[in-house]
Structure 1
Amino acid sequence: MNLASVVLLAFAMSTDAFAAAVGKGAALHKPRFTEALKTGVIFGVIEAATPIVGWGLGRAAAPYVSAWDHWIAFVLLSGLGVLMIRNACMADTTVPEGRPAKHSFWLLALTGFATSIDAMAVGVGLAFLDIGIIPVAAAVGITTLVMVTFGVMLGRVLGAVVGRRAEVIGGIILIGIGTVILIEHLRAMP
């Protein structure tokens, strides 16, 4: 996996968290930068940890599915991409009236975990490709931290509509990465 793929993957994995962060920012009453940064750190740590967990699970199963690894990665990434696009198209854009000044840690952690399930599945797919997970997880975590922090502040201004578009773009990127992996492996076969 080259640097461009890692960067695109990190961006794709953080777009659903970005979309949630825009919604979180829109739901708050004038969130401050410290609230946005706290949200970014929580989401970033969770988003970095889940692909490592997925990678560990995938490594345990890799000897049994090595002949099909590129197809598994393609199906997982493409399926997640389609799911992200579908969820973005079906998202509820209403904002409650009584807006709090900040969100609780547990609400943020739960939201961060919910948006990181796809990163765990990507970790499983990357294990089949024998890719070092630590640089990828770090890139995903840092990208998520930055995008979520920015997303909360952007949500303060723009509302929830932007978040849905970001998730669609992330879904398209995941489908593209899955397709590239499949094509590279099919071309390499004798």
Structure 2
Amino acid sequence: MDLLFTSVFIGIGLAMDCLAVSFAVGGHQKSSRLRAALILALFFGGFQSGMTLLGWLLGSGFADAIAAFDHWVAAGLLFIIGGKMILDGIKDGHEEEAPDIFNLVAVLILAVATSIDALAVGLSFALLHITPLIPAFIIGLISGFFSIGGVFTGGKVGHLVGKRIDLLGGCILILIGVRIVLEHTIWNGNGV
């Protein structure tokens, strides 16, 4: 699996929650947009990277014990995360309320909430024996850029797409899960 290519697509998939929140902030933020964008980029990007690393650390302890079927577990986690994102996008397609991102507690809660999926991705990296430093950096960087873009385009684009952006993120994560299964079964020559 091309690690950089896959990391970029995982980063895009995980950044969709950050983008949706950033749209809401940008749509309601009349002043201090730059400050709001930088705060979200720092917290969302930092937490996405940190949770990826934490998931990898947690998963490293038992990765060898499930080595025979680790690709199924990793793909299953991506299917669950992607499926949840798709369901959220379908049932909750309206524009979100803008959180108070100048309140530290509110930003921390949002950063944790938008990065829980990265914890599961980090666990998948451990199961696939992938060193997470570069992917975690890429995931955080993409989330940071998407957060900045979301704040600045929130008033124009956010009201059109709202949470439906999660549909795209969910589809990307599911496709990566399919790729993992195919690489460890059919494309590897081992059969299913």
Partner SS, residue 78 of structure 2:
helix
Partner SS, residue 61 of structure 1:
coil
**Structure 2 residues not aligned, in runs of 5+:** none
- Who is 1:116 aligned against? 115
For 1:14 and 1:108, the matched residues in 2 are separated by 16
- Who is 2:133 aligned against? 134
- Whether 1:80 aligns to 2:81 is yes
- Whether 1:174 aligns to 2:173 is yes
Give the 5 Å matches for 1:32-47: 32-47=33-48
For 1:111 and 1:102, the matched residues in 2 are separated by 9
Give the 5 Å matches for 1:59-98: 59-91=60-92, 93=94
Pick which of 74-83 and 101-110 moved more.
Answer: 101-110
For 1:142 and 1:164, the matched residues in 2 are separated by 21
Partner SS, residue 79 of structure 1:
helix
For 1:90 and 1:28, the matched residues in 2 are separated by 26
Pick which of 127-136 and 4-13 moved more.
Answer: 4-13
Deviations 1:53-79 (A, max 9, x none): 000111111121111101001110011
The alpha-carbon distance between structure 1 residues 94 and 122, as it changes in their structure 2 partners (threshold 3 A), is closer
Give the 5 Å matches for 1:5-24: 5-24=6-25
Partner SS, residue 66 of structure 2:
helix
**Structure 1 residues not aligned, in runs of 5+:** none
Matched AA of 2:10: L
Paired residues of 1:47 and 1:140 also in contact (CA < 8 A): yes
Deviations 1:55-114 (A, max 9, x none): 011111112111110100111001100000111122263566xx7885312212211110
For 1:40 and 1:119, the matched residues in 2 are separated by 16
The alpha-carbon distance between structure 1 residues 158 and 103, as it changes in their structure 2 partners (threshold 3 A), is farther
Pick which of 105-114 and 68-77 moved more.
Answer: 105-114
Q: How many residues align?
A: 188
- Who is 2:28 aligned against? 27
The alpha-carbon distance between structure 1 residues 184 and 38, as it changes in their structure 2 partners (threshold 3 A), is same
Deviations 1:127-181 (A, max 9, x none): 0111010000000000011001111111133334424232110100000000000
